[in-house]
Amino acid sequence: MTTACATQCEAQAQPALRQVTPRANIYEAASKVYVEVEVPGVKKEDLTLRVESGQLHFEARRYGKGAGEQPEPLYAYSRNFTLASHLDAENIAAQYENGVLRLEIPRKETGRVIPVV
């Protein structure tokens, strides 16, 4: 019974992990779509991006000081974007600086002019 109490008390002492949907700004240009996602306090190595079945999945963790040596996760950021068929998911560029993740998603070449010689 003492072990159960110790485990329960320890779980109550840990801060709850907060699920957050980060703010995103999306801008369109002729050749690209730009996405900016705000994730303050997150380290670059704690960001994950993946493309799967026409979806761009974004996840990140923000850590705080734990009771022991290891930092404890405080925030779990998560956001999904549906990629339109005219966007080139194979060539997405990502840059992270000052708490903002910037994505450049190029548009696929839809038509081209064929020169007549």
Work out the end-to-end distance of the chain between its first and last CA atoms, rounded to an integer number of angstroms.
88
Q: Is residue 26 part of a domain?
A: yes
| pLDDT tens, residue by residue, 28-82 | 999 999 999 999 999 999 999 999 999 999 999 998 876 677 778 899 999 999 9
Res. 117: pLDDT tops 90: no
Q: Rounded to an integer, what distance in angstroms lies between the CA atom of residue 47 and that of residue 94?
A: 11
Q: Is residue 3 part of a domain?
A: no
Q: Where are the alpha helices (DSSP H) in the chain?
A: 2-13
pLDDT number for residue 11 = 47
Q: Is residue 9 part of a domain?
A: no
Q: Is residue 13 part of a domain?
A: no
Q: Is residue 80 part of a domain?
A: yes
Q: Is residue 114 part of a domain?
A: no
Q: Is residue 90 part of a domain?
A: yes
Mean pLDDT for the chain overall: 86
Q: Is residue 52 part of a domain?
A: yes
CATH number, position 58: 2.60.40.790
Which residues form the domain of 72?
Answer: 19-106
| Other beta carbons within 10 Å of 6 | 10
List all residues 6 or more positions away from 6 whose beta carbon is below 8 Å from its beta carbon: none
> How many domains, in total, are found in the chain?
1
Q: Rounded to an integer, what distance in angstroms lies between the CA atom of residue 39 and that of residue 57?
A: 14
Residue 24 — left, alpha, or beta (φ > 0 → left; ψ -120 to 50 → alpha)? Answer: beta
Entry pTM: 0.76
Residue 14 in contact with residue 74, Cβ under 8 Å? Answer: no
For residue 44, the 8-state DSSP code is G
